[in-house]
Structures are given as structure tokens and as C-alpha cells.
Structure 1
């Protein structure tokens, strides 16, 4: 395993009066795609939000590039080079695709070469460039959300359930785009429920339960062990969609 770009050590976090994370230990290797898996309610989304400074950290240590970011403001964390694509995608429905992209670019200026690379990753964005983002399909909105996250070079992408509610053909298109990001050695921490998608893309994996990471290792090891899948996720590979 390569050097960890992001590490969480015994991280605890609350949402209002509820204790959600109970000592999360997690390492995200630099240049790899790490899958964060687990049953609903295990704490996966809260972990991403905690990294981004969007929840109250009550204990533990979060380090990015070896430096502490625990308790820092979200804008400061973003400036460190971390981008977050939440489950609700966070796009502006009344603005055009172009306007959404301009807002995500530093200073409102998009690098032409990088933009060309992005629309090659997500061709529908070019087709709907001057249309309101609210007119896009669910899959196209997800493409726009990811495109916004990578319009500037980022050190780390945090992406929450990108395939949720999408048709299989759109999921395949997203998987192809993630394959290209992997070839660029973009570091990604991705929360996902679709095990086949995870198996195809993941290099390393961590499984959460009840606010803790209960297993971590290679995605290949998890994908090849039906008993381990059943123990950690409640399903064997053949039962996952």
C-alpha cells in the first residue's frame, strides 16, 4: 500500500445530540481509489462530512498530507486541495451547466485544456452546456457534480454514493470516467452501495459498521471472499446489484 494522503485516527463526531462516529481509523492511500463500504446508517456519509469540517468532531485526529486538519473550517479544507461531491450533488439547478462550472473554478476562469479533458470524460455536459442544470437527468447531474469537483486539480476527491438511483447504462459511463481518473492517479475516497461498481473500481477498501471501521484491506481480497462479504455487508457477491 502506498503512503496515506489522508488519515483518520480514533475520530469521533456528533450530529446535534447524536453520537455518530465512535473512533474511526481510516487511511486513504495516495494515488488510489478507496471504497468506503457498509450497511445503511454505518456512518459512511458522516465520515466524509467530518473530513470536510461539516460535523462536530469530539475526538481523534484527521491529517491530510501529514498535517492536521481536525476542526478546520470547510473553506480552509477546500483550499488545501480537497473536493467533496455530496449525495445530493450540490449543483445549482437554475444555472446553466457552464455557469455551474464557472462557479467551481478558482476566479471563475476555466483552463481550456482541462475543460476539454473533462467534457471528454462526460460528453453530455458539452451537449447541454448552455441549458439549465435542472434539465439534466440524474446521471447527467452526477456527471456535472463530479466535473465541478475536478475543474481545478485536486489532491483528494470525496464522493458520496455517485451511482444511487442511476440506470445501469449510466453507471457504466460513470465507471468508465472513474477508470480514467484512476489512470491519472487521482486520489479518491468513494462511498458506495453498489458492490459490483465497487469491485470494478476499488483498489483499497474499508468497511464501516456502527460508526467504526471494522475491516480494511484490498478491494480484491474483499471481492474474492463471499464469507467476508456476508460477515461485513450482509450479502454475498452474487446477491449484490
Structure 2
């Protein structure tokens, strides 16, 4: 199995706080890896460390075998993005005063104006998220929460990416919107995209995940197949304190 992303012994400090305590994580190429764990386990910090927003104080982060993070190998976030890594933060990070089209244009490094956007890529995104076509000229700040999340994901996908990092995409969304997101991510999965998703919605995790890593207290305490975790109620209780079956 080829791993596109590998974290080995990664520690991250934020000021005086030691958040990650030796994270080991592998993300296979062309598959979906779910990063699960209780609140405060270090999941969001892991994504931000991969993206270079916070520097690893020890260990290494490697993308396609090349170091992008860790002492002596830390790349700035723009350089990591240039290597094809896209990040959708928990807060979405959209620009509310700009239109849907302007938000997407800002994320398209190869386009300076709307006419430069790849029309085939846009049609593909509209197929995943039809609301974006409908509200193309609307200020993004006027979209619903679910539509803003769709825009945040679409912005990460406006150009082909090697790796997509998404932090809690379903948080706070209505069940119908969550189903729309599951369908969109499932389409990416069919196209053999490489995704690392932090998620608290276990129905979504089970529907999408090929692999799972569970974090606790700044470490990965379990790694394996998502299907195996979904089938093992005792393991769910031990690692997460709840049963995936209760979230069907």
C-alpha cells in the first residue's frame, strides 16, 4: 500500500502547551482516512500541523516521500499548498462579502479572472454542489450553513489536488445537508481522491472511510480499517466512549 502522507513521531507545541505527543499516522493514496477521537484529542491540531499552520517541534511530516514538516524540514503553508494539499478548516474560512464565484476564483491559482476558470472543472463542481451554480453571484455570507460548507469544499477542489484535509465538515449541519456532503465525498472517493477527514458524525465516517485512526491525548491510539471499527462495538466503546451503531 502506497502512503501519500506519513507522520512519524510528530510533536506540536502551541505556546506553552504541548498538544501532540508523538503522532504516527499514514494516509494511503487514493483512499479515505477518517481521523476520530473525543473533543480535545488533537485532531484539528494534527491537520493544522500537516498544513504548516503550526510547526512540528519534533518528528517528521512527509508528503509523497518528501519532508514538509518537522525540525529542519518545515515548509511554509503556501509551499505546502503548492504541492497540492488543500485544507478546509472547521470554521470554513470563506469570505462573506465576496460572491460564490469570487471565493472560488481566489482559490484557483491558475486563474486571474472568472473566464480563466476551467469550465469542465466548474461543471463537475456544480454536479457535486448544485446550490453553488444557483447562487453563483450571491455574497457568500448570505448562504446557509450547509451551502457555506459546500463552498468551502468546492474552493479546495477548484483545481486538482493531491490531498484534501477537511476538519469536521458535517458539524452543525442538518441531516439532509450531511447526506449531500456524503454523496459529494463519495463521488471523490470513486475518483480515487486522497482524503483525510476529521469527523464526529459516525454515520458519515462509516459511509466514507476506508481507514481510520483514533486519537486520544495527542496520540494515535488505534489505526485500522473503518469497517472493522464499525463492526466492533466493544472497541468503539473503549476508544470513543460510544457505539457507532447508535448513530445510524
> C-alpha distance in 2, partners of 1:175/1:104?
23
> Quick check: 1:67 aligned with 2:56?
no
Q: Which structure 1 residue ranges, 5 or more long, are not aligned? A: none
Deviation for aligned residue 1:56: 2.7
Query: Shift in Å at residue 16 of structure 1?
Result: 1.5
Q: Residue 26 of structure 1 aligns with which residue?
A: 25
- Return the alpha-carbon distance in structure 2 between the equivalents of residues 115 and 238 of structure 1: 37
1:129 aligns to what SS in structure 2? coil
Partner residue in 2 for 1:48 = 47
Alignment of 1:107-122 (within 5 A): 107-108=110-111, 109-122=116-129
> How many Å separate the matches in 2 of 1:123 and 1:115?
11
Aligned pair 1:219/2:192, yes or no?
A: no
Q: Distance in 2 between matches of 1:62 and 1:237?
A: 30
**Deviation sequence 1:206-226 (CA, Å, 0-9, x none):** 000000000000000000000
Aligned residues: CA RMSD: 0.8
Please state how far the C-alpha of 1:57 moved relative to its aligned partner.
Answer: 1.3
Q: How far did residue 238 of structure 1 move?
A: 3.0
Is it true that 1:140 corresponds to 2:143 in the alignment? no
SS at 2:9 equivalent: strand
- Corresponding residue of 2:57: 58
- Displacement of 1:17 in angstroms is 1.1
Equivalenced residues, count: 240
SS at match of 1:58: strand
Report SS of the residue matched to 1:60.
strand
SS, match of residue 110 in structure 2:
helix
